[in-house]
Structure 1
Amino acid sequence: MKAISVVREALDDVKIIDPHCHLRPEKPSADNLADILLYHHLWIELISSGMDQFEVTKSGFPHELVDPEIPPLERVKRAVQYLPCIRNTTVGLFFRWIMKDLFNMEDALGERNIEKIFHNVGERCSDPLWEDKVLRNYCGIEYNITVNTDTVSSSKRMLQGKEGVPVNIVREYIVSGKENPMEVLGSMEKDFGKEIKHVSDYLDYLQLFSKYFLEGKYKFAGIWILPCITDEMSEERYIDSIIKKVKNGKQLSLVEIGSFCYFGTVSFLKELRKSKTRTIQILTGAYVLPPHRSITRWNRSFVESIGKIAYEFEDFHFSISSASDIYTHDLGILAKHIPNVSIAGYWWHTLYPFYIKKSLETRLDMVPMNKIIGFFSDTYHIEWCYPKLKMVKSILKDILIERINRGWYDTKLACVIINKLFYENPRKIYNIETM
């Protein structure tokens, strides 16, 4: 059998574990076409192309964050005129793959067929068998780990992780438009039920938050690490002064913000040792400008700081993903040299063919194959798992075939890599007991 056939067959047959998504445990599929069409990756491109910020959501935020308060069909009708502007983008291609491959709809969505397509998609999504058909048949996904913890799934294949560990004094990811330190500290106090005046109060809050993990139901603790993280001012006396500055409405320096993140992360990990959770999922490299416009972010102190934390907490495993391509080489070297650091997927602004290829080739060049996770969906509805996975598989196929043709790999090694990247590595890193 030719190498290309062997690799293609291995990719078709491999089982997938998706270690980070936002799927609703009670109903992972979309409710209607608006859920699919106005997924925030596509929604922001429509806005960038000319659609008004408030055209399809009254709040101006994506529907993943706030109820749009506009009927789904009306939202689709308002958005469809902007679709031709994004036919060139990867996200535009993903949407066409969803419509063609999952819903068998060859015709482009337009004003003349909106209602028919809207009805057909809604009917398909309401089918009780739809979830299994998309996840198992189309994607081959055996397990998802969702960070949506509002409800619990009846399926043993829908696992949960918990993100949002409160280690930052500024908000990287804007939900309500509140991002300054005083407002962030106020949110912590609301969650804590007490005022946070001193570093001792903050430590008590982290101890309380860590109790979520005592039951052992979460596969990981998810932390948004600021790129500016630093241990420069991470002693308790400095954190105490930072909290006082926030209380007095004074502006924090970048070093103070990064030091608070370092102190919070280290202090939380010390508390987490009381639980059985040992996998830490780190996301970095993105910043959301108001009203909701995400950009990439990088700082030279990130890699050094994570290296120090990984050394101090060798009993934990750190799985890292970045939205900034600038970190591609940095994180590759980090995972190459540090035993308890691995690297995963292509998050947010790196989920494009050029950057996926660059990421995969960099990692295959330097990172031991048992420390690379080849895919996670980060999706809110199962329909979007499909095109993302299809793209990653297509790119990995081309990379492996090229390396076989060069004599760098043989087909046996290529098949081992495929199984590790998509299944074995996430299974072991996230301690998943498969059925």
Structure 2
Amino acid sequence: MSIGLDASREEFTEYMMRLPVLDTHTHLVGERLGARDFWEIAHYFWLFREMQAAGYPADAMELPEDLRIAAFLEAYHGTRNTLMNIAFTQIFKDLYGIVIRDAASVREADRAVKKSAQSTGWAQEVADRMQARRFVVNIPEHAEFQGMKHNAILIPRIDGKLGSWVKEIELSQDPAAVFVQTREKLGQLLDTYKADGCRGIMTTLPRYEACANRKVVIGQGSTRDEILMMLLHEVCAAAEARGLFIQLFLGVERSWCGTAIPANDPSRILKLSALFEAYACPFELVVATELNNLDIVQAAWNFPNVHVGGHWWFNFRASTYRDSMQYRLEALPAIKSSLIVSDARSIEWSYGKILVIKRLVAEFLWNQIEAGWIDQETAFRIAEEWLYQSAAKRYGIQD
């Protein structure tokens, strides 16, 4: 893959679209990578939320097909301006050659998806179309990618265990003793991951009031947040001892109501900064909230072992990408930053969201070239790092 250093905007954009990518967070399941019908693509969480805002019923799958299609089309046409609608439209245009207009086109799309679901090579074909070299999953049982050139990169998530450990210590009659026992369990767990060839672990974190720079002795009266923070110290120490990196996914709150919502906490990263300073293990920070985009760049600027990841949950919008790319361009070497987080549940949505990111990268970098801040050669190198090389180096991927 090559291009001259005097490329036109169209040539530059085409080159960007052909660059390899590493999708650093997905919910893909190895034995069923592709969607099985139209509705598995149409009801992807993010598009579904936007469609609901346009009047699409939450119980759409319970409706007779004719009524469901009619309701879908009304909401689909009502959300043509939203980013997920744009990605969805491009999925069917690019992968199936279908433009969604009416009931007939929806039924045609459903037949096309059901047909592709029967093809053992479909997932690899879609991955090749978007130049996706590798994908990350967090559940061991999902990592064997059937019909693909490579299995997924497994970065096991420990948030379920972390939450149960915090609760167990909090409710114990002897929190200090249970904390020591938990430290041993944690070490054994990370030893297992290390032996299985994993290069790192991932966890989400709930909202926390405790700060990493205030270490306490766990005992009777220790708060839940204190226990969580001291366990995070143990996680970091154990990861450092085993040469593992830590992915932290931050900014989604589930404690305020029954629905997950973004919580812009200006102290979120600050409260963790003592961990970045105390432990030499690499950290990758992925946030779901717009205001924390600058905070993670500041952390990566201050601490050599901190890297910034892609945009998660409510942070996956063109506006937030443009702002965060500006922060990253000005402050960080490109090798410290990854951009691709599709959060996809099917290979088709990985395609659609990667397409959006690549388009935004091409648009942003071209504008920087035109403004005279960087040249084309620098832009090419930045894009290669942001889309693939930074994550590949962190995860130990050798081409």
Q: TM tier, shorter chain?
A: 0.7 to 0.9
Deviations 1:100-128 (A, max 9, x none): 111110232x4344433212211112211
The 8 Å contact of residues 353 and 395 in structure 1, kept in 2 or not, is answered as: yes
The 8 Å contact of residues 165 and 209 in structure 1, kept in 2 or not, is answered as: no
The aligned counterpart of 2:158 is 164
Give the alignment of 1:34-73 within 5 angstroms. 34-56=39-61
Give the alignment of 1:164-313 within 5 angstroms. 164-166=158-160, 187-188=164-165, 198-214=175-191, 215-231=195-211, 235-238=215-218, 240-242=220-222, 256-276=223-243, 278-288=244-254, 293-313=259-279
Aligned residues: 387
1:147 to 120, 138, 145: 138
Per-residue deviation, 1:402? 1.8
Question: For residues 202 and 373 of structure 2, what CA distance do their matches in structure 1 show?
Answer: 36
Q: Which amino acid aligns with 1:26?
A: E
Per-residue deviation, 1:28? 1.6
Cα distance, 1:206–1:263 mapped onto 2, change above 3 Å:
same
Give the alignment of 1:356-435 within 5 angstroms. 356-434=321-399
Question: For residues 274 and 338 of structure 1, what CA distance do their matches in structure 2 show?
Answer: 19
Question: For residues 107 and 371 of structure 2, what CA distance do their matches in structure 1 show?
Answer: 51
The 8 Å contact of residues 21 and 387 in structure 2, kept in 1 or not, is answered as: yes
The aligned counterpart of 2:93 is 100
Deviates more, 1:320-329 or 1:156-165: 156-165
Q: Which amino acid aligns with 2:251?
A: G
Q: Provide the alpha-carbon RMSD of the alignment.
A: 3.1
Question: For residues 24 and 105 of structure 2, what CA distance do their matches in structure 1 show?
Answer: 37
Segments of structure 2 that go 5 or more residues without pairing to the other structure are 1-5
Cα distance, 1:196–1:323 mapped onto 2, change above 3 Å:
farther
Q: Say which SS state the counterpart of residue 223 (structure 1) adopts.
A: strand
Deviations 1:192-235 (A, max 9, x none): 9x978524324423532453432243232112133435337964
The 8 Å contact of residues 69 and 103 in structure 2, kept in 1 or not, is answered as: no
**Percent of aligned positions with the same letter in both sequences?**
17
Per-residue deviation, 1:140? 0.1
Question: For residues 311 and 21 of structure 1, what CA distance do their matches in structure 2 show?
Answer: 29
Per-residue deviation, 1:356? 0.8
The aligned counterpart of 2:3 is none
Per-residue deviation, 1:261? 2.7
Per-residue deviation, 1:289? 6.3
Whether 1:14 aligns to 2:44 is no
Cα distance, 1:3–1:77 mapped onto 2, change above 3 Å:
closer
The 8 Å contact of residues 32 and 72 in structure 1, kept in 2 or not, is answered as: no
Segments of structure 1 that go 5 or more residues without pairing to the other structure are 58-69, 170-186, 243-255
Deviates more, 1:199-208 or 1:233-242: 233-242
Per the normalisation by structure 1, the TM-score is 0.79
The 8 Å contact of residues 207 and 253 in structure 2, kept in 1 or not, is answered as: no
The 8 Å contact of residues 175 and 218 in structure 2, kept in 1 or not, is answered as: no
Question: For residues 153 and 44 of structure 2, what CA distance do their matches in structure 1 show?
Answer: 22
Deviates more, 1:229-238 or 1:198-207: 229-238
The 8 Å contact of residues 203 and 267 in structure 1, kept in 2 or not, is answered as: no
Deviations 1:127-169 (A, max 9, x none): 1111111011x21011111113224415534221111335765
Deviates more, 1:194-203 or 1:13-22: 194-203
Cα distance, 1:116–1:414 mapped onto 2, change above 3 Å:
closer
The 8 Å contact of residues 23 and 148 in structure 1, kept in 2 or not, is answered as: no
Q: Which amino acid aligns with 1:332?
A: V
Per-residue deviation, 1:273? 4.2
Per-residue deviation, 1:191? 10
Per-residue deviation, 1:376? 2.1
The aligned counterpart of 2:77 is 84
Deviations 1:66-87 (A, max 9, x none): xxxx999997676454323322
Cα distance, 1:123–1:399 mapped onto 2, change above 3 Å:
same
Cα distance, 1:196–1:262 mapped onto 2, change above 3 Å:
same
Per-residue deviation, 1:236? 4.9
The aligned counterpart of 1:246 is none
Q: Say which SS state the counterpart of residue 332 (structure 1) adopts.
A: helix
2:299 to 334, 338, 341: 334
Cα distance, 1:152–1:319 mapped onto 2, change above 3 Å:
closer
Cα distance, 1:297–1:202 mapped onto 2, change above 3 Å:
same
The 8 Å contact of residues 23 and 146 in structure 1, kept in 2 or not, is answered as: yes
The aligned counterpart of 1:64 is none
Question: For residues 390 and 196 of structure 1, what CA distance do their matches in structure 2 show?
Answer: 53
Question: For residues 257 and 59 of structure 2, what CA distance do their matches in structure 1 show?
Answer: 11
Q: Which amino acid aligns with 2:144?
A: S
Per-residue deviation, 1:237? 3.9
Cα distance, 1:307–1:121 mapped onto 2, change above 3 Å:
same
The aligned counterpart of 2:33 is 28
Per the normalisation by structure 2, the TM-score is 0.86
The aligned counterpart of 1:175 is none
The 8 Å contact of residues 228 and 301 in structure 1, kept in 2 or not, is answered as: no
